Amino acid sequence: MTLVVTPHAPTLVPVAGGGNYPVHRIYCVGRNYAEHAQEMGFTGREPPFFFMKPADAAVVVPDGETGVIDYPTLTANLHHEIELVVAIGTGGAGIRAADAAGHIYGYAIGLDMTRRDLQGEMKKQGRPWCIGKAFDQSAPIGPIHPKAVTGELLRGAITLDVNGVRRQKGDLSELIWSVNETIEHLSAAWTLQPGDLIFTGTPAGVAAVVRADVMEGSVAGLGTLRVAVR
Ligand code: MN
């Protein structure tokens, strides 16, 4: 077989304790904490909805390092969204929430970086969100922690500081659609595959970052994710 262009190398996320997790797709859940839904102008009782980012939008940040993202083009309002990321280990379609935990390989901390001004403009015009959500370097992610080690993450603090000042704070127990319910809804629409990441939504407090800001996110049990904007 002759390849006529050079194939893109797979995105690999290191696994705490050894090994790498090859990324297939990145799914994201919109407005999945009530307070954040309210700050975006919604009630929080809407059914879950999804968008995607390309696998190579991930910026992999090894444990203990500070990742770097470039301030993206076309925006003057780059927002942080700290999120629990679920890594699918066993794929499937039509997965029931009661069976969903068995499909989870592990968890990571992720940032759903958002060009909020462009997303807002697309919403207003009824157009796709891609330009606001799915741009290059829009998905910084820390190491994946196997569920076999962490157990199922059902509660625990999720926070984001910018330059040492707390911006976002919530608890995993406040997810409107739990991880297991999210997997049920998502797998009704797409056949989940090993390598699929799910960004599960962000708590309230989303706001802008500028060049030279340093974001430090945490999820109880998963350590911290540090990312600088240049
Ligand atoms: Mn998000």
User: Could you tell me the CATH number of the domain that includes residue 167?
Assistant: 3.90.850.10
The neighbouring-strand residues paired with 171 are 157
CA of 199 to the centre of ligand 1 (A): 7
- Percent of the chain at pLDDT above 90? 93
For residue 51, give the H/E element and its range: strand 50-53
Is residue 85 in some structural domain?
yes
Is residue 6 in some structural domain?
no
177: its two tokens = 């659609």
Which residues are in the CB-under-5-Å shell of ion ligand 1?
A: 81, 112, 202
Instruction: Give the residue-averaged pLDDT of 119-142.
Output: 97
How remote is the C-alpha of 18 from its chain's centroid? 22
Tell me the pLDDT band of 206, cut-offs 50, 70 and 90: very high
Give the β-pairing of 114-115 and 165-171: unpaired
d(CA 123, CA 6): 36
CA of 17 to the centre of ligand 1 (A): 27
Residue 41 has pLDDT above 90, yes or no: no
Is residue 5 in some structural domain?
no
CA of 46 to the centre of ligand 1 (A): 15
Instruction: Give the residue-averaged pLDDT of 198-215.
Output: 97
CA of 20 to the centre of ligand 1 (A): 24
CA of 51 to the centre of ligand 1 (A): 9
pLDDT attached to residue 42: 86
pLDDT attached to residue 45: 74
d(CA 56, CA 134): 10
CA of 3 to the centre of ligand 1 (A): 36
Q: Give the chain's domain count.
A: 1
Say how many CA atoms lie within 13 Å of 23 toward its Cβ.
31
Q: Which of 22, 29, 23 is nearest to 186 (CA)?
A: 29
CA of 191 to the centre of ligand 1 (A): 21
Is residue 7 in some structural domain?
no
Is residue 2 in some structural domain?
no
Q: What pTM, to 2 d.p., does this model score? A: 0.97
d(CA 3, CA 53): 25
Instruction: Give the residue-averaged pLDDT of 93-119.
Output: 98
Tell me the pLDDT band of 37, cut-offs 50, 70 and 90: confident
CA of 83 to the centre of ligand 1 (A): 7
CA of 31 to the centre of ligand 1 (A): 7
Residue 187 has pLDDT above 80, yes or no: yes
Instruction: Compute the residue count for the chain.
Output: 230
d(CA 95, CA 90): 11
d(CA 53, CA 133): 7
∠ CA 200-201-203, rounded to 5°? 135
Structural domain boundaries enclosing 189: 12-229
CA of 90 to the centre of ligand 1 (A): 24
